[in-house]
Structure 1
Amino acid sequence: MPSAKDEHDFSYRRDIRSVFKLNNWILGSIGIWPVTIRGIRRHVYKIAIAVCNLTFSFALVPCALHIIYDEKDIIIRLKIGGLLLFCLISMIKYCILAIRRPKILRCIEYMKSDWWQVTFKSDREVMLKYAAISRNLTIIGASFMYTAGIIYYLIVVPFFFEHKVNNQTIRPLVFPIYSKFHQFQISPIYEIVYVAHCMCGYMIYSVTAGACGLAALFATHACGQIEMIVSRLEDLVNGARCKQSPKIHQRIAAIVKDHVRIVKFAIVVEEVLREVCLVEFISSVCTICLLEYSCIVDWQQDNKLSLANYFMFFVSLCFNIYILCYIGELLMEKSSQIGYTCYMINWYQLSPKSSRSLILIIAIASHPIKLSAGGMVDLSLLTFGNVLKTSVAYLSFLRTLVM
C-alpha cells in the first residue's frame, strides 16, 4: 500500500507536468523555458538563443534592404513592412524573455512550491480549474497563430507568389531578398534560405504564443491562490476547514502570510512581463492597423486566399492582445475581492483585536494587483478596446495618406 506521502508526491508530479507541459513545449523549443540541467548541457540554451537571434537577423536585414532599395509600390511596401515589423517585434520580445529567464525560473519555483503545499482537495480543484483556463487560452492562441503561419509559409508563398521578370521565373521567399543577392535563386541555396525563413517564422509564432501563454500561466495561478484566500476568509469565523489552527489569530496569520506571498509573486511576474507587454501593446496597434489595410486591399483586388490568410493573422494578433488584457482584468478583479470579502464576513463576531487585524488586509487589497505595459498602461478590457479603436483611427489615416 502506498503511503500518503507517496500519493501526494505522485499527484504533485502529475499536476506539475500537466500545468507546465504546453509552455515547456512552446518556449523550450526556442531556448527560453528554464530547465535545471547539470553538466555541459546547461549551456545548450545559450546556443539556442544565439542561433535564434542569427536566424532573426538573417531574415530581417535582406528584407529591410529590399524595402529600402528595390520595392517602389507603396502598397506592397506596406504589406512587407507589416511582416518585417512583426518579425522585429518578435525578436525584441525574444531578447527580453531571454534576459528574464532567471525571473521566469523564480516564478516557476513559486508555483511548484504552491502546488507542493496543497493539502485540501478543494484547494487543488481550484488550482486545477485556473490551470485549465491557462491551458485553454494558450491552446487557442497558439492554434490560431501556428495555423495562420503554416498556411502562409507552406501554401500561400510557394504556390501563389511566383512571378516572372524578363521571362525568368522568380521563386518567392517568405521574406523578400535584396535584388543584389542573385545567388538566392540558385538551388540548393534557395531551398536552404526558404527553410531558414520557415525556422524564423516558427520562432516568431512561438515567441508570440509563448509570451501570452506565459502571462496566462502566471496570472491564472495568482488568481487561483487569491480564490483560496477568499475561501479561507469566508471560513475565518467558523474555522470548519482549519481544524489544525483552532485559534483565530493563527488563521488570520496564515491568511496574511499567503496574501503577502501572492503579492510578492505578482511583483516578480510584473517584472517578467512589463517590457514584453509594453512591446506587445505598442506593436499590436501598428501591426493590426497594417493587417486591416492588407485585408481591405485584398478584398478590393478579390484575392480571396491572401485575404483569408491576413484575416487569420488579424484574428490571432487580436486574440493575443485580448489574452493579456483579459488576464490583467481577471487579476485586478480577483485581488480586489479579498478586501470585499473581509468586509462581508461576520467580522463583528470576532474580538476587537482580531477585527482590527483585518484592516491591514483590506488596506492592501484596496490596491489590486495589476499587469501593466511598461508601468504606463494597465492591461484591462478597456485597454483592449482602446487598442482596437486606435488601430482603426490609424487605418483611416493610412488610407487617406496612400489613396
Structure 2
Amino acid sequence: MADMLPTDASHTLFRNINYRSDMEYVMKVAKILLTPVGVWPLYKTDSTFEKIRYVFWTSFIFSLMCFYLFHIYMKVIAAQVFSLLGIVKFWTMIINKDDIKYCLKEMEIQIRDVESEEDRLVMVKYAKLGRQLTIMYIGLLYGGALPYHIIMPLVADKIVREDNTTQLPLPYLSDYIFFVVESSPFYEILFVTQIIFSTLILSTNCGVYSLIATCIMHACCLFEISRRHIETFLNNETDDLHKRFGQIVVHHMRALRFTEMIEKSFNFVFLSEMVGCTIIICFLEYGVLKEWEDNQIFGTIIYFILVISILVNVFTLSSIGDRLKEESIKIGEASYCINWYAFPAKNVNGLVMVMIRSNRPSTLTAGKIFDISLQGFCDVCKTSAAYLNFIRMVAA
C-alpha cells in the first residue's frame, strides 16, 4: 500500500476544531447505506468475536444477493445485472477494505490538519457537492426501483393458477432450481423477501456510489487547495518562500497519492459499472418500448425513470472523473501563470517538476482499460443503442 506523506505539525497554521463534525458530514450518507450490509470499512474488527460476526454477516448478505441470480425473463435481465453490480461492489468493499479504510483515515487527517479557514471552506464546498450528487442519484434510483419492485406487481395482470385462484406476480419473475414457489404462504413470504433484499442491493449500490463520489470530490479538493497555494505563493514576501514551496509540493504529492489509492481501490468497480450500465440501459430501453407497445402507461413511466437514473449515474461518474483530471491539469497551468520568473533560484527546479508532473494528469480508469471521462459516457450511450437494436431484431 502506498504511504501518504505525513502531516508536519510544525507546518500547521490552523487547527480545525470541527474536523469530527466535518468528517461526519462527509461520510454520513455512505455510512448509513453501507452499515446494514456490513461493509462499512471504519468499524473496528480487532477482536475475535467482531471478526467472526463480520464474516458471518457478510456471508449471509452475499447469499441473499445471490438469491436473485436465477431470473430467465428478458424484461428482468436489467434487474439481474444491477444485482450483479451490487455483488461486485459488495466484494470490492470486502477485498479492498484496508485500502478504502486507509483512504478514509487519510481524509480525516487532512480535514483535521487543514492549514487555514479558506482551505477548510474549500473542503466543505466539495463535501457538499459530493453529498448533492449522492442524494440526486439515490432519489432517482429509489424513485424508479421501489415502484418497480412494489407498485408494478400490484397493478400487473394477476397470475391464474390451475385451481382458478389468482396471485400477484413476484417483483422478480423467477424460476428457482431447488424449490417451487406457488403454494401459500411461501409465495407471500417470498414476495416480501424479494422486496427487502432488493432494497439491500439498492443500498449497497447507492452506498458505494456515495463513497466513491465523496472520495473523488475530496481528491479534487486537494488539487484545488494546491492550486490556490501556488497562485498565492508570492503574495506575502515576508514568509520563508522555500518552506512555503515545500508545503505546496507536499500538498500536490498528497493529492496525487490519494488519487492513486482511489484508482487502486475502485478501478474494477468502475469497469463493472460502465459495462454493466451499458447492458442495463439497453434492456431498460427495451422495457420502455415493450410497455409502450402493451399500452402500460405506468410501466412505461417506471422504466423511463430507471433509464434516466442509470444515465445520470454514468454521466455523474464520468463528469467527476473529468473534473478530477481537469483539476490536476490546472496545477500546471497555475504554475505557469504566476510570476515564476520572480521565484528564488533554489525553487525554480521544484516548480519545473510540478509543471512536468501536471502534464500527466491524474485519471481514474475502468479496470485500467479506458479512462472514466465524458467520452466514456458517450461510448456507453452509443453502445447501449447498438445493443438495443440487436435485441429488437432478435426478439422480433
Q: How far apart, CA to CA, are the structure 2 residues paired with 1:42 and 1:238?
A: 53
Q: How far apart, CA to CA, are the structure 1 residues paired with 2:54 and 2:357?
A: 39
2:21 to 14, 17, 33: 14
Q: How far apart, CA to CA, are the structure 1 residues paired with 2:145 and 2:53?
A: 27
Q: Which residue of 2 aligns with 1:142?
A: 138
Q: 1:31, 1:46 within 8 Å by CA — same for their partners in 2?
A: no
1:309 to 302, 306, 309: 302
Matches within 5 A, 1:56-205: 56-61=65-70, 63=71, 67=72, 77-166=73-162, 167-178=164-175, 183-205=180-202
Q: 1:56, 1:200 within 8 Å by CA — same for their partners in 2?
A: yes
Against the structure 1 CA distance between its residues 351 and 363, is the aligned structure 2 distance closer, same or farther, given a 3 Å change threshold? Answer: same
Identity %: 29
Q: Which amino acid aligns with 2:115?
A: T
Q: How far apart, CA to CA, are the structure 1 residues paired with 2:211 and 2:172?
A: 28
Q: How far apart, CA to CA, are the structure 2 residues paired with 1:87 and 1:262?
A: 33
Q: Which amino acid aligns with 1:341?
A: A
Matches within 5 A, 1:365-380: 365-380=358-373
Q: 2:315, 2:377 within 8 Å by CA — same for their partners in 1?
A: yes
Matches within 5 A, 1:289-328: 289-328=282-321
Instruction: Indicate the SS of the match to 2:166.
Output: strand
Q: Which amino acid aligns with 1:175?
A: Y
2:33 to 20, 26, 41: 26
Q: 1:237, 1:347 within 8 Å by CA — same for their partners in 2?
A: no
CA positional deviation for 1:34: 1.2
* 1:122-173 superposed Cα distances (whole Å, 9 cap, x missing partner): 1111000000000000000011111222212221113425221433323321
Against the structure 1 CA distance between its residues 320 and 287, is the aligned structure 2 distance closer, same or farther, given a 3 Å change threshold? Answer: same
CA positional deviation for 1:368: 0.7
* 1:210-235 superposed Cα distances (whole Å, 9 cap, x missing partner): 22212211110011111111111011
CA positional deviation for 1:391: 0.8
Q: Which amino acid aligns with 1:58?
A: F
Q: 2:15, 2:113 within 8 Å by CA — same for their partners in 1?
A: no
Q: How far apart, CA to CA, are the structure 2 residues paired with 1:290 and 1:109?
A: 40
Q: How far apart, CA to CA, are the structure 1 residues paired with 2:367 and 2:177?
A: 40
CA positional deviation for 1:46: 2.6
Q: Which amino acid aligns with 1:194?
A: F
Please say if 1:230 is aligned against 2:230: no
Q: Number of residues paired by the alignment?
A: 381
Q: Which ranges in structure 1 are unaligned for 5 or more consecutive residues?
A: 1-6, 68-76
Q: Which residue of 2 aligns with 1:214?
A: 211
CA positional deviation for 1:45: 3.3
CA positional deviation for 1:17: 1.1
Q: 1:55, 1:199 within 8 Å by CA — same for their partners in 2?
A: no
* 1:168-210 superposed Cα distances (whole Å, 9 cap, x missing partner): 3233212223277775233332232223212321122122222
Q: Which residue of 2 aligns with 1:48?
A: 57
Q: How far apart, CA to CA, are the structure 1 residues paired with 2:25 and 2:78?
A: 36
Q: 2:366, 2:372 within 8 Å by CA — same for their partners in 1?
A: yes
Q: Which residue of 2 aligns with 1:71?
A: none
Q: How far apart, CA to CA, are the structure 1 residues paired with 2:62 and 2:378?
A: 33
Between structures 1 and 2, the one with greater helix share: 1
Instruction: Indicate the SS of the match to 1:59.
Output: coil
* 1:96-115 superposed Cα distances (whole Å, 9 cap, x missing partner): 22211111101101100100
Q: How far apart, CA to CA, are the structure 2 residues paired with 1:247 and 1:238?
A: 12
Q: How far apart, CA to CA, are the structure 2 residues paired with 1:222 and 1:285?
A: 27
Instruction: Indicate the SS of the match to 1:185.
Output: coil
Q: Which ranges in structure 2 are unaligned for 5 or more consecutive residues?
A: 1-13
Q: How far apart, CA to CA, are the structure 2 residues paired with 1:289 and 1:356?
A: 52
Against the structure 1 CA distance between its residues 165 and 27, is the aligned structure 2 distance closer, same or farther, given a 3 Å change threshold? Answer: same
Q: Which residue of 1 aligns with 2:6?
A: none
CA positional deviation for 1:85: 2.2
Matches within 5 A, 1:377-392: 377-392=370-385
Instruction: Indicate the SS of the match to 2:150.
Output: helix
CA positional deviation for 1:59: 2.4
Q: 1:209, 1:320 within 8 Å by CA — same for their partners in 2?
A: no
Q: 1:36, 1:42 within 8 Å by CA — same for their partners in 2?
A: no
Against the structure 1 CA distance between its residues 178 and 78, is the aligned structure 2 distance closer, same or farther, given a 3 Å change threshold? Answer: closer
Q: Which amino acid aligns with 2:111?
A: W
Against the structure 1 CA distance between its residues 179 and 236, is the aligned structure 2 distance closer, same or farther, given a 3 Å change threshold? Answer: closer
CA positional deviation for 1:35: 2.6
Q: How far apart, CA to CA, are the structure 2 residues paired with 1:161 and 1:203?
A: 27
CA positional deviation for 1:14: 1.2
Q: 1:163, 1:169 within 8 Å by CA — same for their partners in 2?
A: yes
RMSD: 2.1
Q: How far apart, CA to CA, are the structure 1 residues paired with 2:373 and 2:39?
A: 26
Q: 2:322, 2:374 within 8 Å by CA — same for their partners in 1?
A: yes
